Amino acid sequence: MRFTQLVWCLMFLLRFGFLADAILDPVDFLALQAIRKSLDDLPGSNFFQSWDFTSDPCGFAGVYCDGDKVISLNLGDPRAGSPGLSGRISPAIGKLSALTELSIVPGRIMGALPATVSQLKNLRFLAISRNFISGEIPASLGEVRGLRTLDLSYNQLTGTISPSIGSLPELSNLILCHNHLTGSIPPFLSQSLIRIDLKRNSLTGSISPASLPPSLQYLSLAWNQLTGPVDRVLLRLNQLNYLDLSLNRLTGRIPGRIFAFPITNLQLQRNFFYGPIQPANQVTIPTVDLSYNRFSGGISPLLSSVENLYLNSNRFTGEVPASFVERLLSASMQTLYLQHNFLTGIQISPAAEIPVSSSLCLQYNCMVPPLQTPCPLKAGPQKTRPTTQCTEWRG
C-alpha cells in the first residue's frame, strides 16, 4: 500500500512540474531506491557513489534505460579485483517490468533469490555468481520464458533444479556449478542450449538419454554423485567440444564413436566405468583425460592422434600401440600418461630420446619400463606393479 501511495505522489509531482528533471517511470524510480537501500559497497568499492536520487537514475552506474524504463541493471564494479557489494536483493527488483538483463558482481550478497524475479517477463540474462545466495532456486523462474542465460554459480544454493527450469524454451546457458544442489538432473527442452555446468554439487540419479539436447557444446557434471550408464547419452551429443564427467559413480562403457567428435577437452576421471573403450574411425580430440576410472581392455591405436592423452589409473592391458611411440618421438604427442595400469609392453628403444616438449610416464604396469622418464609425484615411487597382480608379465 505504501509503495502504491509513493507512486501516486511521484506521478503528481511529475504532472505539475515539481520534478522536471526526472524522466524515469515512478515505479522504476522507487524500485531502484529500494534496491539501493538493501545493498552497500564493500570496503574499497565506490559503485553507489553516483546513485544520487536528486538526479536522473538513468545516469547511475550500472543502470541503463530505454525511454522511461530500466532495461539493464549491472550492480557492482565489473573491474577485476573489485570488492563487490554486500546486503540482500530487494524483492522490489520484480517491479522493473522492462528489465532484460540483471547481473551482480562477486561480493557478499546473502539471502534468497527473491521469487519476484519471476515477474520480470522480459528478462533474458540473469547472472549472480560468486556471492552467498542461499535457499532454493525459485521454481517460478520457469515462468520467465525468454530467459537465455542463468548463472547462479559459486553460491550456497540448496534444493533441487526444478523441471520448470528445464522447460525454459530459449535457455542457452545454464551455469549452477559450485553450490549444494541435490536431486536429479531434469530434462532440458531448449534446442538452443549449448552450455550446462553443474559441477561440484550433490546431484544424484542417472542421466536420461533424452534429458540433454544434441545442441550441447559444453557439458560439465563433475564432482557429483551421478550413477548409471552414459553411453546412450553421449551418442546424442555430437556437437560437444568440452565434456567433464569426472568424480561421479557412472558405470558402463564409453561408446567409441564419441572420439570421432571434435571434442577439445574430455575428462571422465574417477568414475566406475567398466569395459574397454571401443575403437572409432577417427580421433580429432586435442586432449583426452580418462584417468582414475576402471576402463579395461586394450588401448586403441586411433587414440594416437590425441596431443595430450591421460589414461593413467585404469585397468588397460596389452601393449602400447606402436603409433603412440612414433608420434611421441616426433613431438606430435605432447603428453602420454599410462601409469598405474596393467600394460605389458611398449616398443621403444632404451636409448630413445623423448623430446623436451613431450612427457611419457609408464611406471606401475605389468612390465619393466624400457626407459626412465620423469612422472608426476602422484604416480608414486614404484616402477613396476607386483607380479602377483598381473596375469601376464614382461620383464
Q: Model confidence over 249-284: pLDDT tens digits?
A: 877 665 555 555 555 566 666 666 555 554 444 435
- Annotated domain spans of the chain: 26-286, 287-394
Average pLDDT, the chain: 86
Reduce the DSSP state of residue 11 to 3 states and report it: helix
Residue 181 has pLDDT above 90, yes or no: yes
CB 311 within 8 A of CB 339: no
Helical axes 2-15 vs 26-38, angle rounded to 10°: 130
Rounded distance between C-alpha atoms, residue 339 and residue 29, angstroms: 64
Give the residue carrying C-alpha cell 524483492.
91
Predicted TM-score (pTM) of the model is: 0.79
Q: Model confidence over 9-46: pLDDT tens digits?
A: 545 444 444 443 448 999 999 999 999 999 999 999 99
Nearest of 209, 293, 207, 287 to residue 247 by alpha carbon: 293
Model confidence at 6, pLDDT cuts 50, 70, 90, reads: low
Q: Model confidence over 328-375: pLDDT tens digits?
A: 999 999 999 999 999 999 999 999 999 999 999 999 999 999 998 999
CATH class of 26-286: alpha beta
Rounded distance between C-alpha atoms, residue 264 and residue 266, angstroms: 7
Strands (E), 95-231: 101-104, 108-112, 125-128, 132-136, 149-151, 156-158, 173-175, 195-197, 204-205, 218-220, 225-229
Rounded distance between C-alpha atoms, residue 85 and residue 76, angstroms: 6
Per-residue model confidence (pLDDT) at position 280:
44
CB 222 within 8 A of CB 244: yes
Per-residue model confidence (pLDDT) at position 264:
55
